Structure 1
């Protein structure tokens, strides 16, 4: 039995555990190459289908993207922050445009069109100057109404936003500070531990402990930060901790379900404001790549490979490996290379596989489409939300996700992650979404031939992230060279 998959969304707001999250986006394939299928004569090559080319872009979406990205980054972030306060946006404020931002602008326009002529054309996703000003004003009004103040907590050194109207009571805790509502039904605690006095793994285990009266709905665990969300019979909670040279710092927020209408939005604003180690100079947020051609999707020759493979059948694992891959292993056991495509790095391995059904190949992906990346992690499979757009997949991926399958919301295979940086790039202690090239479904179909998993005709119903993880977690396996 494979270990349960942890639903990961680095930097996203795990309060919304069932949604597929960060905004901005990317993906598409490489050229397909013919490959022999099982039972074909030696040297025979089964011609793969010609790539259909990128899917036709959505003109409305692309027009909205162009209008949004023409703005400076600070203005783009301000719009997303205002959408959070307007209750239309439930993701990370990055200044990057994607399907979530597009839909949030459209939702705000539709909601406000009837009562505010400045909202702009309802549902277009494009903000003209009067509409942008109206949105920013609405966001600022909501922020002021909550008396939301972002400041350093003297007791811990972290920076966090406090809705002071709801949490006027403040007191000191042994390891931090507490803000509370007058009736005690909403509580925000901060905490800090000096280096060597607490362990992130132990804090995570404590936070993620479930009881009959305490249901954990989401967990995220990385070497430098953790997130846990859950529910009790009467309330909800959100816990986040981060590790750095200065020790451990974090916060927890608990509130009763009667206040959920206001607090669910405020959790997003508070999480977006949280900076555990403000003394660290943050790296600028990644910019969208220019129109120049992206690097070839195959990994560079000689690159050390530790990544993810996808079992597509009994003793058949497809991965993306460098040209020089001595002693390949899959799941810690020796593997044998059956064939390899030099253009994409796609490699078919003969190795032991667990029982399970591989995800079927999807039609061509669409820009702005939500996706999940299912990777092999040290503690079991991990699931990271991302978005699709021309060029790759935008998601906060760790280096071990190279070769990981990228799935649509119906659990169909859009492609494999083609390459990753050697080291994760952190912004304020959090792994940001970055663009990673994709080996697309056309290339996979051509390479795998008869080994390619297929799906029955017709539309597939959308699935939750948990359902997708549970269905396909057993098909991913860690792969490495130099075994």
Structure 2
């Protein structure tokens, strides 16, 4: 695949990715513009006029706001466009303005309506979860069109798949065709080690070719995944600044580092996309802004790997969701220094925490209490038992409340120091308990350092401990619960098995006093 065609597909998916995250049928129709070009031209113009709307459909200018085909200087063209079409189009249509306008206006609406219904027709009767798997599989199969022809892109992709398989080209997949498509995509994903996870440092949902970028470590504003020798790199970033101007960040990303040479740049109201050369590597940056916070990721790869990376970039664009409402497991990061939470459960200094947090630690510290030693763990429950000797006065939890099957929760914990400028203040995150075990976050917030936090009910009573799951999620599979509740009853059983006497009543003012930061130091 040539680099120019690849960029066209990736830019096309830039507008599509949020819709995929919301399980919407508008995943692909959202970004097509050809049939409704007059409306697109009005949206770009600062002061649209009725007499210029019709000519816009005849000229080539609608390609500017249409994201599927970005130009190297697309941002500049967008800015200059409102003035240019008016003069040229007015001259070209002086002889017969009345003939052209009715001809374009009448067919536009029914054609757009037909395209809008095509996605619904293609997926009629298919459950939402399977619909997402089919959409992701079509992206992996290479059948998705790089350019628009007036037809719904997803419908075109289905027809392309049927043509390749020499089947009847109907635009609707039969059950056997769906099975073959998903099976082929699953093989491709296994080849690359494809997984869709939430980056705990930024809250971004991102698709990663884990076999291609197996090494993960912290970055200045997020997380970096890379290959053994840095041939391929993926780095997330999050910038929370109420005064941040997206246009200013857009210009900064085009110039920094100084080795960047921009080939394509698209600035929208809610985000941007930049690509080109950075030294000897290809690069792309995509970002989205919401409520004064920008989230995005940068990808770098050697030019000689372009044909290998090409299908991965398309899949990553479809999986990218900066503010996801649909959960995914959290990315597993092996950090040299990792932060989490522990819960004091006895006056003798016993602390329970997430077992994964304690793995491979050379030194563990319970902040404010001293060095901690792991004395027991249980793989099935996901719990680890720590002990702080000669502790200061502590406030052990009362574990006598059983969790309900559902209801509102408040998660209480101390996040990673990077989230608090180095401090260790308790933070509350609103959530909801589902099916007695799964925890759904109310907002897609960064969760770095939050595993092991306490889960409280509406009255402030302790219901259990929060565990962040690091299991990966293939993009064509439904999401597993990424955050789960380890109930108070499970913790009681674990402590009873190790002869730890627990408090029957809360000795402190509330359960918040029992939460401590746990620091794990590895080699």
Q: Give the TM-score normalised by structure 1.
A: 0.42
Greater relative contact order (Cα < 8 A, sep 6+): 1
Higher alpha-carbon Rg: 2
Normalising to structure 2: TM-score of the pair? 0.39
Instruction: Name the structure with the higher helix share.
Output: 2
